């Protein structure tokens, strides 16, 4: 019996000793695991033992309420069985407890990027921890940490110190948290001492270390991220990113381009795109959504001005790997001839999801430049590859892809193709890139006239006839006729007065008596009374070494035309502007042909002689 009492009291003593060992909540790890370790009803930062610990999340992060990351820029989950994919759970204070699941699981090698909007992460200048990761569980799962510099000074220090950006995404490597380590000391990665606040960071990227997807909460489970060393900033809406994310960043009730801070930014979506109201893509050519759970599939929301707000979800989600093709009908996207951005994509949210950009050339001259520069059409759909936008990049500089400097407007494009870089659809209701609007920062307005036709004809071996017809003109002072031998560099060769304001048909003719050898390129430069101008499409003609002289008179005509040729005529046909045959003329010795049966208008007449076919434009009055 004594032995039984002895065993019983020994058992009680072991339980008491074990309770002393594990029934506590007084270490950095125990105070950040979301568990009530000592059973007193208080977990982590609600427990007085945690609050009294020096220099850890509870002490520092809760002192001002502003030290936590407060915006999700990007989340990528790799495990289909992951049940905790609400990335917003990682924002704000540490709030996970047994009755409230307040974390997001990264998944195997998953990624989470968080932003500090109300403060910036800094260095403390000493050996104290600067960044704290609240990771749920007794042990911190291995997670790589990368930080994005807030300013050029921080970037210079990192480069000088040899701190690397190994994947070239703008986020610099700061080791990992793992095991019993839940914090990062920025100063520990520096060889020289720097005063507190010398380095500033606005974003943190967390990447789960390789493992597996075997549980329903795979990878690191992130509850919150806190800047132990931080500096408070006033929220503003004065950057290109802030001014195109559909968010009222400074809380003044004005969002993006409605905010005066955004309107004052140079060479940015708000400044340029809203300046004339016609710089935006205005026609949906094609849309392909790949995700069945996508709830934002109205592609027309990507047209016109950027109008997304928190109250009006006017964007289209591409889906993972989805495609959106938009046309510019009221203007033409061009190059600026400088390093300025030429194209701006208004993509909803703080972080641009990776999207490939392709552009459709307007004319042969643009295609020639692209081919000479080695810019490719990778999928042979006539849209040329211009890289991608991602991360904090919302703009595209066409000239940045060229090795030679070209003048403004040398390259012209009429359509843009946006293709989301695919990951997985998951259960997200707005998968892939969320497109609000697309704007040509550098553009040429289409002609403020209705140009019915613009044709070229070789009159003889040494002259080219240009004919064009308008049905409507607005403030049209004159046309400048421009010619080029390579389709790139144009020179003025003549001026024809315009009709000012007109709603009737107007016919124009110009003879180039000194065309370029072999191939000549022509375009019309329409000039308004106020000096503004627009360019027509480029037309091309290849001059024949020998040509038959065909003369048609009068032109314009009322009823009868005379056709003279220095070779025997075999056949004559008259076509309308749509290419439909109106009549075949019976040949006669008088060379006179009655066309009184035609309605008033413009026609093509095709004259076939012994060795060539000549097409001319005739006008019936």
For the record, the structure tokens of 429 come out as 């209701």
Could you tell me the CATH superfamily of domain 447-547? Immunoglobulins (2.60.40.10)
Kindly give the parts of the chain with pLDDT less than 50.
1-2, 4-5, 7-22, 55
Between the CA of residue 281 and those of 356, 417, 450, 538, 614, what are the distances in Å?
Answer: 17, 11, 20, 22, 40
Answer whether 522's CB lies under 8 Å from 480's CB: no
Q: Which residue has the tokens 């003609």?
A: 541
The per-residue pLDDT for 28 is 59
The per-residue pLDDT for 89 is 86
Q: What angle do CA 497, 517, 467 make, to 5 degrees?
A: 30
Q: What angle do CA 518, 520, 521 make, to 5 degrees?
A: 155
- At a CB cut-off of 8 Å and minimum separation 6, what does 64 contact? 232
Residue 292 has a CB neighbour count (10 Å cut-off) of 8
3-state secondary structure 391-448: ECCCEECHHHHCCCCCCCCCCEEEEEEEEECCCCCCCCCCCCCEEEEEEECCEEECCC
Calpha distance 255→264 (Å, rounded): 14
Burial label for 240, CB within 10 Å (0-12, 13-18, 19+), is buried
Calpha distance 465→552 (Å, rounded): 13
E strand intervals along 77-198: 104-105, 111-115, 119-122, 131-135, 140-149, 172-179, 183-184
Per-domain boundaries in the chain? 7-232, 242-442, 447-547, 548-621
Query: For residue 68, what is the DSSP state?
Result: B
Calpha distance 400→389 (Å, rounded): 14
* Fold adopted by 548-621: Immunoglobulin-like (2.60.40)
Calpha distance 182→224 (Å, rounded): 11
- At a CB cut-off of 8 Å and minimum separation 6, what does 422 contact? 290, 320, 321, 432
Answer whether 302's CB lies under 8 Å from 315's CB: yes
Nearest Cα to Cα of residue 75 among 183, 206, 242, 169 = 206
550-553 sheet: strands from edge to edge: 550-553, 560-565, 592-594
Domain 548-621 in the same topology as domain 447-547: yes
- At a CB cut-off of 8 Å and minimum separation 6, what does 491 contact? 482, 483, 484
The per-residue pLDDT for 550 is 81
Rounded-to-10 torsion of CA 346, 352, 356, 361: 20
Determine the 3-state secondary structure of 281 from DSSP. coil
Between the CA of residue 526 and those of 403, 448, 478, 529, 534, what are the distances in Å?
Answer: 31, 8, 6, 10, 5
Residue 591 has a CB neighbour count (10 Å cut-off) of 14
Calpha distance 454→524 (Å, rounded): 9
Q: Is the pTM of this model over 0.95?
A: no
The per-residue pLDDT for 277 is 54
Calpha distance 495→478 (Å, rounded): 7
The per-residue pLDDT for 60 is 59
Nearest Cα to Cα of residue 405 among 441, 369, 368 = 369
Calpha distance 158→142 (Å, rounded): 24
For the record, the structure tokens of 322 come out as 């989805």
Between the CA of residue 161 and those of 186, 189, 450, what are the distances in Å?
Answer: 12, 8, 62
The per-residue pLDDT for 203 is 92
Distance in Å from the first CA to the final CA of the chain: 131
Calpha distance 420→85 (Å, rounded): 21
Q: DSSP for 468-517?
A: EEEEEEEEEEEEEEEEESSSSS-EEEEEEEEEEEESS-EEEEEEESSPPS
The per-residue pLDDT for 323 is 95
Burial label for 359, CB within 10 Å (0-12, 13-18, 19+), is buried
């Amino acid at each position: 019996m004594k032995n039984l009492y002895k065993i019983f009291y020994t058992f009680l003593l072991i339980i008491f000793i074990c309770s002393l060992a594990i029934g506590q909540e007084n270490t950095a790890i125990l105070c950040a695991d979301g568990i009530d370790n000592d059973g007193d009803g208080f977990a982590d930062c609600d427990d007085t033992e945690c609050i009294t610990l020096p220099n850890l999340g509870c002490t520092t992060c809760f002192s001002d309420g502003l030290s936590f990351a407060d915006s999700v820029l990007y989340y990528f989950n790799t495990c289909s069985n992951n049940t905790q994919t609400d990335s917003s759970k990682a924002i704000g204070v540490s709030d996970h407890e047994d009755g409230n699941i307040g974390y997001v699981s990264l998944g195997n090698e998953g990624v989470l990027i968080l932003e500090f909007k109300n403060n910036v992460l800094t260095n403390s200048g000493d050996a104290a921890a600067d960044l704290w990761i609240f990771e749920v569980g007794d042990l911190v799962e291995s997670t790589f940490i990368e930080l994005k510099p807030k300013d050029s000074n921080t970037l210079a220090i990192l480069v000088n110190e040899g701190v690397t950006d190994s994947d070239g995404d703008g986020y610099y490597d700061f080791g990992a948290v793992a095991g019993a380590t839940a914090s990062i000391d920025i100063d520990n990665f520096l060889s020289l001492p720097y005063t507190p606040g010398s380095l500033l960071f606005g974003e943190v990227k967390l990447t789960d270390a390789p493992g597996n997807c075997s549980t329903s909460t795979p990878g690191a489970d992130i509850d919150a991220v806190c800047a132990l060393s931080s500096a408070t900033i006033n929220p503003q809406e004065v950057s290109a990113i802030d001014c195109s994310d559909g968010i009222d960043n400074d809380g003044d009730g004005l969002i993006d381009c409605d905010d005066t801070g955004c309107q004052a930014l140079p060479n940015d979506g708000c400044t340029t795109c809203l300046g004339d109201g016609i710089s935006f893509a205005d026609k949906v050519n094609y849309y392909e959504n790949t995700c069945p759970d996508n709830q934002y599939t109205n592609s027309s929301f990507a047209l016109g001005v950027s109008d997304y707000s928190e109250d009006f979800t006017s964007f289209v989600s591409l889906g993972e790997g989805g495609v959106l093709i938009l046309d510019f009908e009221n203007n033409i996207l061009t190059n600026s001839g400088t390093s300025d951005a030429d194209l701006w994509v208004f993509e909803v949210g703080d972080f641009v999801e990776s999207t490939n950009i392709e552009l459709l050339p307007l004319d042969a001259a643009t295609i020639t430049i692209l081919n000479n520069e080695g810019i490719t059409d990778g999928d042979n759909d006539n849209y040329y590859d211009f890289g991608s936008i991602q991360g904090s990049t919302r703009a595209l500089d066409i000239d940045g892809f060229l090795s030679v400097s070209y003048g403004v407007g040398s390259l012209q494009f009429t359509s843009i193709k946006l293709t989301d870089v695919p990951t997985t659809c998951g259960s997200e209701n707005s998968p892939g890139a969320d497109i609000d609007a697309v704007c040509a920062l550098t553009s040429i307005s289409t002609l403020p006239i209705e140009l019915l036709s613009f044709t070229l004809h070789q009159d003889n071996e040494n002259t080219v006839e240009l004919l064009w017809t308008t049905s409507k003109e607005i403030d049209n002072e004159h046309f400048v006729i421009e010619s080029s031998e390579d389709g790139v560099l144009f020179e003025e060769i003549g001026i024809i007065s315009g009709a000012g304001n007109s709603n009737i048909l107007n016919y124009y003719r110009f003879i180039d008596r000194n065309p370029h050898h072999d191939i000549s390129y022509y375009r019309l430069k329409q000039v308004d009374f106020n000096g503004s101008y627009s360019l027509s499409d480029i037309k091309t003609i290849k001059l024949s070494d020998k040509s038959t002289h065909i003369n048609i008179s009068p032109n314009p005509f009322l009823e009868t035309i005379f056709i003279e040729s220095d070779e025997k005529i075999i056949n004559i046909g008259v076509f309308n502007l749509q290419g439909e045959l109106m009549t075949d003329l019976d040949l006669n010795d008088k060379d006179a042909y009655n066309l009184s049966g035609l309605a008033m208008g413009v026609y093509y007449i095709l004259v076939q002689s012994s060795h060539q076919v000549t097409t001319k434009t005739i006008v019936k009055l």
